[in-house]
Amino acid sequence: MNILERRKYRGLKIPNYKESTADKLVVEATVPEELCFPMAMHIGAPAVPCVEVGDRVKIGTLLGTAEGKISANIRSSVSGKVVAVEKRASFRGESETVVVQNDFTDAEENLPALQEEIGPKEFSARLAASGITGKGGAGFPAGVKYAMDKEETRYLLVNGSECEPYSTTDYRIMTEYPEEIIAIIELITRVYQLEESVIAVEDHMKDALLALQEAIKKRGAKRIRIHSLPSEYPAGHAALQIRQVLGIEMEEGQRSGDAGILQSNVSTIKAMYDALINNQSLTRRVITVTGPMLKEPKNLMVRLGTGVQHLIDECGGLKGEADMINGGPMMGRPFFDTDLPVDKDTTTLLFLEKKEKPKETPCIRCARCVDHCPVALQPIVISNSYRQNRWDRAKELRAESCISCGVCTYVCPANIDLLKDIQALNKQWEENRNDD
């Protein structure tokens, strides 16, 4: 079944709350004395530490090597000395972590220069060496994604829609680095011999749109176009965006790669520029640090491994006790420890007013959750199955197709945390299925 077949789903109009950082230039964050590099910064197997306590490292030195088929290298974002290799808390749970004491010399170890003409093999190998993972939040290793047979691939779809409220990372990157973005898209289009490459942006992103158009014109790039999407949530959802932008319908369980489409976030494209043109590994990223409880919201260029508290201080501190979210309010995850280090897929750190969770009331069968689910699930039925301990219904109800967009919970007038139940059911299904 086509996952969007039930109706021509568009999206939900929600307030975007981007005004406090949208027009603020990206500024370099100061770098702390000690940085922590969890080996689990991506989807797949964690990297394996390849340094020991006492080793000297530079910016770009390999700290952990990719392990297995789906994994990614981890490189140091500062020069200094390794002072610990031990288990520590991270945004992805407890992880083996390399701790580096900064010597503040910023000595750098670059990747070797590439030949002028490269093919898909060299391109994907460079992404893997650099340690690039999807920077939109998914954390899939880019070296794995781009290591495919070029014959099968026809399109590149660059997601710049950034539909999560508060986040302005991608918007700033498109506005401030348009030439770098177009240069890499042009390279990918040539290397993979693509028919077309498209950048999807939301229609409110006027400055980004103009900057990208100008860069396309300046380079005379022929097979690159920009597609302006209505500002609706979740405009960044893969299947939805593929249909709206390329007119291709995805089947249930089909990945974009299977449909001949390379899909990357615009921040990932910028990281590719640094790796391929500047010979720099992935060691830093832009993060929107924002929310009504933060004194001075900012877009910061942050060295990976920097602790959250350091960034709160960079933004003038908090106004009081806050609900802290790694990501946006729709898909982000709450966290409670400001010592956690930012990693490759930290897009936004959000500090909201502390609020009592609204009291749940009985379902009134309004069907809003069903009508608004972008992948045509029945969230209330899945939630009920979880509450009745019927994890065995997960497959029949297609619970695994949930993209965790949070729309069902958002629209529910009875304040039922449907997404939480769906995730719990999927976890039970996963655990019990593995017991078979």
Q: What residues make contact with ligand SF4 under the rule CB under 6 A? A: 363-369, 373-375, 377, 379-380, 402-408, 411-414, 416, 418-419, 422
Minimum distance of ligand SF4 from residue 365's CB (angstroms)? 5
Minimum distance of ligand SF4 from residue 373's CB (angstroms)? 3
Minimum distance of ligand SF4 from residue 408's CB (angstroms)? 3
Minimum distance of ligand SF4 from residue 181's CB (angstroms)? 29
Query: Using a CB cutoff of 8 Å and minimum separation of 24, what contacts does 432-436 make?
Result: 432/391, 432/392
Minimum distance of ligand SF4 from residue 413's CB (angstroms)? 6
**Rounded Cα gap, residues 397 and 387, in angstroms:** 14
Residue whose CB is less far from ligand SF4, 186 or 421: 421
Residue whose CB is less far from ligand SF4, 95 or 384: 384
**Rounded Cα gap, residues 410 and 373, in angstroms:** 11
Minimum distance of ligand SF4 from residue 378's CB (angstroms)? 8
**Rounded Cα gap, residues 363 and 368, in angstroms:** 11
Contact 129, 119 (CB under 8 A): no
Residue whose CB is less far from ligand SF4, 404 or 432: 404
Q: Give CA torsion, residues 14, 209, 144, 141, to 10 deg.
A: -50
Lookup: tokens for 153 = 């691939």
**Rounded Cα gap, residues 250 and 243, in angstroms:** 8
Residue whose CB is less far from ligand SF4, 218 or 420: 420
Starting at the edge strand that comes first in sequence, how are the strands of the sheet with 80-88 ordered? Answer: 34-38, 95-102, 80-88, 56-57
Starting at the edge strand that comes first in sequence, how are the strands of the sheet with 74-75 ordered? Answer: 48-49, 62-65, 74-75
Residue whose CB is less far from ligand SF4, 40 or 422: 422
Residue whose CB is less far from ligand SF4, 301 or 366: 366
